[in-house]
A and B are shown apart, each in its own frame.
Chain A
Amino acid sequence: MAHSAATASDDASPIAAALPEGKDAKAFHRMVFIGIAVALAVLPLILYPVFLMKVLCFALFALAFNLLLGYGGLLSFGHAAYFGMASYISAYGAKHWGLTPELAILAGTLTAALLGLVFGALAIRRQGIYFSMITLALAQMVFFFSLQAKFTGGEDGIQAVPRGHLFGVISLADDRVLYALVALIFFAGLLLIYRIIHSPFGQVLKAIRDNEPRAISLGYRANQYKLAVFVLSTTLAGVAGATKAIVFQLASLTDVHWSMSGEVVLMTLVGGMGTVFGPILGSFVIIAMENYLAQFGAWVTIIQGVVFVVCVLLFREGIVGLFARLLKKPL
């Protein structure tokens, strides 16, 4: 594995790896969490809640992806598969089985977890770019399946998914109520990911990412750890996809297409790979761009391309990575 062994690790997360995390950092992170919680409460007063819900779903998706890339050192090119399949199952469950929203989301999430377990077991056997290509290929098969299977409704997707009543009681028809639920899911997901990263499990992951042979020689079963983080990542991506289906009352081929896998890479890159909070900001920026640039028509993709190029050339550590360096604190 001459060149491919130099995985995303060395360059991907220079900040997170370089800075020691002391008590100081923990206190700082607590502040950041409080800041995010306040922002979640205040933002819907200023910004359009549906837009915010979209941002939160994608932010969770990007966080899940970043867990795998930034902390596992594994670049998946096929994360759309888990996001999209979860979205399909959640939409189908809510519409045709009459599941309540929380059960529909759960069903979608479980699907993504199972899919992640199977695909992960295959993919982690290879490293570097080959790992990425296997995940891409498997995701292409999921796309093909989604196109062929009857229940997905072809390119029309599953439409008119009912938002339903949470626990069969609370109606989600009002955007504000739904927003509260989505914000809650997002925040829980963020806390979970933060816990994972800072747990002993997370430490071992980072050790494997930085030097796999050494970790193995220390007695860690690298592959089990990799599979575990893979499944965690796909599960959380599934939560994001399943929630999105309820928010937009729609699941479609867009969610399983490879460009969706590319989009989540972009969000993570812009925000800052290997930073805890980067993907949140990254997805905010990208979704805001898509939303507010839509009126410029064909220029959207050009502007996206320019953002890619600028990010790669000028600030590879991403927006949050840049902040982290300026503040001299891991974020």
Chain B
Amino acid sequence: MTMIFGVPMQALFGQLLLGLINGSFYAILSLGLAIIFGLLNIINFTHGAQYMMGAFVAWMLLNYAGIGYWWALLLAPLAVGLFGVIMERLLIARLYKLDHLYGLLLTFGLALIIQGLFRNEYGVSGLPYAIPSELSGGQRLPFMFLPNYRGWVVVASLVVCLATWLVIEKTKLGAYLRAATENPTLVQAFGVNVPLLLTLTYGFGVALAAFAGVLAAPVYSVNPNMGADIIIVVFAVVVIGGMGSILGSIITGFTLGLIEGLTKVFYPEASSTVIFVIMVLVLLVKPAGLFGRTA
């Protein structure tokens, strides 16, 4: 068997694939974060809590209304997205003219509140959520056993990320969005309802987080703290990709998943720290991140 640094080639393939799967979560989450930052100039620290809400709404739909995974994949993002819209209208909209710091602090406070409320209601051990029967089981690849569900995660996230990217880059709506990012006053002058655009964008970014939450529900523990740890990592992904860069966040999300996967083989203890090492290196070499533009 071919060995690379003492690790069999085949095992390495498996690890890379798993890294890619984890990268899928990073990609969807950081995409939402990047869109929100790009347009609203808000660092959405509530993103982790909204990801958690997505998973919980899926659980609630199943247990209170008997609605299964596939509908949850659609309904949970809608519900959480709506929640985001309300949040934006009531709270975040007041902060647009202020420094980043305030948006960050506000959303951080909101994350604490949301997580605390869920914790009081549902405890911390987590809730069970089964893999949908259509996707149970797995494929025996030459180098590993791949659960069908994990394959689905990669496909679903690639589709969502690409679709989002296409909408933003290739449609008229996307053109408005990009224009509003560049110069909101001018776009407003052209008769586009910029505040509405901002609200909807925030709702969409939040819905993406919730979508990731539903995807995660069958494989990760559905508990109120599930978003608290991932948010810092996703944050780092967005910064590395370049704040506000759509394509950057997608590519960086997947890439960092791969790098993290490799770290788990060669230096597992450091696998949650490696992202920060990369962040420092990237920022020192490229001040605005890999895909960001320096003005």
> A–B direct touch, CB within 8 Å, in complex?
yes
Binding site for B on A (CB under 8 A): 1-4, 6-8, 10-12, 75, 122, 125-126, 128-130, 133-134, 136-138, 140-141, 143-144, 147-148, 258, 262, 265-266, 269, 298-299, 301-302, 304-309, 311-313, 316
A258 in complex: contacting residue of B101, B232, B243, CB < 8 Å = B232
Nearest B residue to A265 via CB reads B105
When the two chains form their complex, are residues B109 and A308 in contact, meaning their CB atoms are under 8 A apart? Answer: yes
Stretch of B28-36, B110-118, B136-144, B193-201 contacting A (4+ beta carbons < 8 Å): B110-118
Q: Chain A residues with Cβ under 8 A from B114's Cβ?
A: 305
Main secondary structure of the interface of B (DSSP, over half): helix
A122 in complex: contacting residue of B101, B232, B284, CB < 8 Å = B284
Q: Chain B residues with Cβ under 8 A from A309's Cβ?
A: 91, 106, 109-110, 113
When the two chains form their complex, are residues A11 and B113 in contact, meaning their CB atoms are under 8 A apart? Answer: no
When the two chains form their complex, are residues A137 and B101 in contact, meaning their CB atoms are under 8 A apart? Answer: no
Binding site for A on B (CB under 8 A): 41, 43, 91, 94-95, 98-102, 105-106, 108-117, 119-120, 232, 235-236, 239, 243, 269-270, 273, 276-277, 279-280, 283-284, 287-288, 294-295
Main secondary structure of the interface of A (DSSP, over half): helix
- 9 A-B pairs with CB atoms under 8 Å apart are A12-B99, A12-B101, A133-B283, A138-B280, A140-B276, A141-B280, A301-B112, A306-B113, A316-B98
B276 in complex: contacting residue of A7, A130, A141, CB < 8 Å = A141
When chains A and B are docked, how far (Å) is the Cα of A305 from the Cα of B113? 5
When the two chains form their complex, are residues A305 and B110 in contact, meaning their CB atoms are under 8 A apart? Answer: yes
Q: Chain B residues with Cβ under 8 A from A141's Cβ?
A: 273, 276-277, 280
A6 in complex: contacting residue of B99, B105, B117, CB < 8 Å = B99
When chains A and B are docked, how far (Å) is the Cα of A91 from the Cα of B99? 38
When chains A and B are docked, how far (Å) is the Cα of A299 from the Cα of B280? 36
Minimum CB–CB distance from A192 to chain B (whole Å) comes to: 26
Q: Evaluate whether A130 and B277 lie within 8 angstroms (CB atoms) in the complex, with A6-B99, A262-B108, A305-B110 already known.
A: no
When the two chains form their complex, are residues A133 and B279 in contact, meaning their CB atoms are under 8 A apart? Answer: yes
When the two chains form their complex, are residues B280 and A122 in contact, meaning their CB atoms are under 8 A apart? Answer: yes
Nearest B residue to A301 via CB reads B116
Q: Chain A residues with Cβ under 8 A from B295's Cβ?
A: 1-2
Minimum CB–CB distance from B218 to chain A (whole Å) comes to: 27
Q: Chain A residues with Cβ under 8 A from B283's Cβ?
A: 126, 130, 133-134, 137
Q: Evaluate whether A130 and B287 lie within 8 angstroms (CB atoms) in the complex, with A10-B99, A298-B119 already known.
A: yes
When the two chains form their complex, are residues B288 and A130 in contact, meaning their CB atoms are under 8 A apart? Answer: yes
When chains A and B are docked, how far (Å) is the Cα of A3 from the Cα of B183? 12
Q: Evaluate whether A308 and B284 lie within 8 angstroms (CB atoms) in the complex, with A301-B112, A302-B112 already known.
A: no
Q: Evaluate whether A144 and B108 lie within 8 angstroms (CB atoms) in the complex, with A12-B99, A298-B119, A302-B117 already known.
A: no
Nearest B residue to A310 via CB reads B109
When the two chains form their complex, are residues B109 and A306 in contact, meaning their CB atoms are under 8 A apart? Answer: yes
When chains A and B are docked, how far (Å) is the Cα of A302 from the Cα of B109? 8
A126 in complex: contacting residue of B41, B100, B287, CB < 8 Å = B287
Nearest A residue to B119 via CB reads A298
When the two chains form their complex, are residues A11 and B280 in contact, meaning their CB atoms are under 8 A apart? Answer: no
Q: Chain B residues with Cβ under 8 A from A312's Cβ?
A: 95, 102, 105-106, 109
Q: Chain B residues with Cβ under 8 A from A129's Cβ?
A: 43, 100, 239, 243
When chains A and B are docked, how far (Å) is the Cα of A312 from the Cα of B103? 8
When chains A and B are docked, how far (Å) is the Cα of A307 from the Cα of B109? 8
The 4 closest A-B pairs by CB, nearest first: A308-B109, A305-B112, A302-B116, A305-B113
A299 in complex: contacting residue of B116, B239, B284, CB < 8 Å = B116
When chains A and B are docked, how far (Å) is the Cα of A7 from the Cα of B98? 10
Q: Chain B residues with Cβ under 8 A from A306's Cβ?
A: 109, 113
A301-B112, A302-B113, A309-B110 known; 20 new pairs, CB 8 Å cut-off, are A1-B295, A8-B99, A11-B102, A129-B43, A129-B100, A133-B239, A136-B232, A137-B236, A141-B273, A141-B280, A143-B273, A144-B270, A258-B232, A302-B117, A302-B120, A304-B109, A305-B113, A306-B109, A308-B105, A309-B91
When chains A and B are docked, how far (Å) is the Cα of A269 from the Cα of B236? 24
Q: Evaluate whether A11 and B110 lie within 8 angstroms (CB atoms) in the complex, with A137-B236, A265-B105 already known.
A: no
When chains A and B are docked, how far (Å) is the Cα of A203 from the Cα of B275? 38
When the two chains form their complex, are residues B105 and A134 in contact, meaning their CB atoms are under 8 A apart? Answer: no
